[in-house]
Amino acid sequence: EDKVVQSPLSLVVHEGDTVTLNCSYEVTNFRSLLWYKQEKKAPTFLFMLTSSGIEKKSGRLSSILDKKELFSILNITATQTGDSAVYLCAVDTYNFNKFYFGSGTKLNVKP
């Protein structure tokens, strides 16, 4: 059964802390792994990862994929209250373009 598992389910940190969010997956016909940030409404895209070992960065956020061990991490450095959100991991497959989502990690950044 195809699945995507995220950990931790929730996290509370203080501004300035660094956090690491985890995503592991077991799917057939893997194509890419995606990270989304969801605040109050629809998820917004952060990163798409297709190759192992290549870090993608956007400001204070970075992510890397390990296709051998079947996981990805999302790092956020110097967290701000605006980073408070649910972070979703999804895996895209070649199975008719089906995506599989994890249940998300809820991040709460306190001032």
Partner 1 sequence: NAGVTQTPKFQVLKTGQSMTLQCAQDMNHNSMYWYRQDPGMGLRLIYYSASEGTTDKGEVPNGYNVSRLNKREFSLRLESAAPSQTSVYFCASSEIGAEETQYFGPGTRLLVL
Question: What residue ranges bind partner 1 (CB under 8 A)?
Answer: 6, 9, 34, 41-45, 48, 88, 90, 92, 96-104
Residue 10 CB, nearest approach to partner 1 (Å): 9
Dist CA 9 CA 86 (whole Å): 9
Smaller CB separation from partner 1, 12 or 78: 12
Smaller CB separation from partner 1, 6 or 63: 6
Residue 63 CB, nearest approach to partner 1 (Å): 13
Whole-angstrom CA distances from 66 to 23, 25, 27, 30 are 10, 10, 14, 12
Residue 102 CB, nearest approach to partner 1 (Å): 6
Whole-angstrom CA distances from 27 to 1, 14, 84, 105 are 7, 35, 29, 20
